């Protein structure tokens, strides 16, 4: 019976998570909220504390909300990872790591403390169960689908997860929020990384690593033939495919094609030089299928807003995989995730390490 089932919902203060909580209340679940704090003073021993957050102005949707301060863990697992990836000339996606190591880990930890049966979030994705496995699917709203960010989740986590917003579009969620009396119903969305003010990662890195700018400034900017065409502010401040801010007058558009952190060198070329047909991804996590041993056909995304492209996936013995696309992809970037789909289902994913033109 749903009334005997307790669901712990991650409450961020936004419209999506609050609406997800209200939906579960309306379905008859016993619902508790959890607001995970990640930018407070770090606590070495996180404990649950009552939170003043209000999910709804309507009495029937008022639920108890707790806070869990995971700022120390966030700093160690997300912020440190973010900095180290840029120092290694890779472009990280901290939200993917945060979902795995902070949000779901924190929710499941708190669920154990509060004796909750399931956890839930306001992500636009859905789950199913068949053939003895839990499966992860895209959200119905193609503009909001967040399945790409959840590829690191495993069977144990998915078995405890409810994703109420999967079948809904964002406009439908906002309309439900108004009906439920959610204070955040009209709140605008933020696309920024929560710990990077103004979404300016270059300024953030300069502030977070005090001597970085002085250490890396003045490196060589070279063209496709290796000729020095200028100097740059430092390799961590550039990403693959970047065109603006290169500081070289070449008479035609040039793009960052590769980054050499050892020699602090930025390689540039034409837009066509960004095209690649193959990538290798490490630390593959397989969700919808058992770890494969033979090549298979699928589609894959190389970044969040990418369109899934037909490809052939070849598993490697070290837990990596080679993904070969039928048509070239532009600006495949080390550090980003390659996420593999079959129709609307996430089969798995891994972190991009290298490309082959």
Is residue 70 a contact partner of residue 36, using CB atoms and an 8 Å limit?
A: yes
CATH classification (class only), 217-269: mainly beta
Tracing tokens 């068949």 back to the chain, one arrives at: 130
What number is the average pLDDT over the span 340-356? Answer: 96
Query: Is 194 tagged catalytic?
Result: yes
Better-scored residue on pLDDT, 25 or 2: 25
Q: What's the pLDDT at 356?
A: 87
Local structure of 321: helix, strand or coil: strand
- Once rounded to an integer, what is the mean pLDDT over residues 218-237? 93
Provide mean pLDDT across the span 2-26.
95
pLDDT in tens, 108-157: 999 999 999 999 999 999 999 999 999 999 999 999 999 999 999 999 99
Question: Which CATH class, in words, describes the domain spanning 274-356?
Answer: mainly beta
- What tens digit of pLDDT does each residue of 45-55 get? 778 999 999 99
Instruction: Write out the residue limits of the CATH 2.30.30.280 domain(s) in the chain.
Output: 217-269
What architecture is the 2-180 domain classified under in CATH?
A: 3-Layer(aba) Sandwich (3.40)
**CATH 2.40.30.10 segments of the chain:** 274-356
- Structure token digits, residue 37: 């704090």
Q: What is the pLDDT of residues 168-225, one digit of tens each?
A: 999 999 999 999 999 989 888 877 899 999 989 999 999 999 999 999 999 999 999 9
* Annotation marks residue 22 as catalytic: no
| CA gap 155, 138 in Å, rounded | 17
């Amino acid at each position: 019976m749903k009334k005997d089932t307790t669901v712990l919902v991650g409450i961020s203060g936004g419209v999506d998570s609050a609406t997800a909580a209200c939906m579960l209340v309306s379905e008859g679940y016993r619902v508790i909220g959890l607001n995970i704090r990640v930018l407070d003073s770090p606590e070495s021993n996180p404990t649950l504390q009552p939170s003043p957050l209000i999910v709804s102005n309507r009495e029937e949707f008022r639920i108890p909300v707790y806070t869990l301060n995971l700022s120390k863990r966030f700093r160690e697992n997300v912020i440190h990872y973010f900095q180290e990836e840029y120092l290694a000339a890779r472009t990280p996606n901290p939200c993917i790591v945060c979902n795995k190591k902070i949000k779901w880990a924190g929710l499941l930890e708190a669920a154990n403390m509060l004796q909750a049966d399931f956890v839930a979030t306001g992500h636009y994705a859905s789950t199913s169960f068949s053939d003895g496995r839990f499966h992860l699917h895209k959200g119905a709203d193609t503009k909001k689908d967040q399945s790409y960010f959840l590829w690191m989740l495993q069977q144990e986590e998915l078995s405890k997860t409810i994703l109420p917003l999967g079948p809904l579009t964002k406009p439908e969620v906002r309309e439900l929020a108004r009906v439920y009396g959610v204070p955040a119903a009209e709140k605008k969305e933020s696309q920024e990384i929560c710990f990077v003010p103004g979404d300016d990662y270059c300024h953030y890195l300069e502030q977070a690593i005090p001597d970085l700018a002085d250490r890396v400034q003045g490196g060589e900017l070279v063209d496709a033939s290796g000729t020095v065409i200028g100097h740059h502010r430092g390799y961590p401040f550039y990403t693959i495919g970047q065109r603006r801010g290169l500081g070289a007058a070449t008479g035609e558009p040039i793009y960052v094609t590769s980054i050499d952190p050892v020699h602090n060198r930025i390689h540039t070329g034409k837009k066509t030089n960004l095209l690649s047909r193959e990538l290798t991804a490490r630390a593959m996590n397989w969700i919808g299928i058992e770890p494969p041993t033979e090549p298979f056909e699928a589609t894959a995304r190389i970044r969040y807003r990418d369109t899934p492209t037909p490809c052939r996936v070849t598993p490697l013995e070290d837990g990596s995989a080679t993904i070969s696309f039928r048509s070239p992809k532009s600006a495949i970037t080390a550090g980003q995730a390659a996420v593999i789909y079959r129709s609307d289902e996430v089969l798995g994913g891994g972190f991009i390490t290298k490309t082959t033109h």
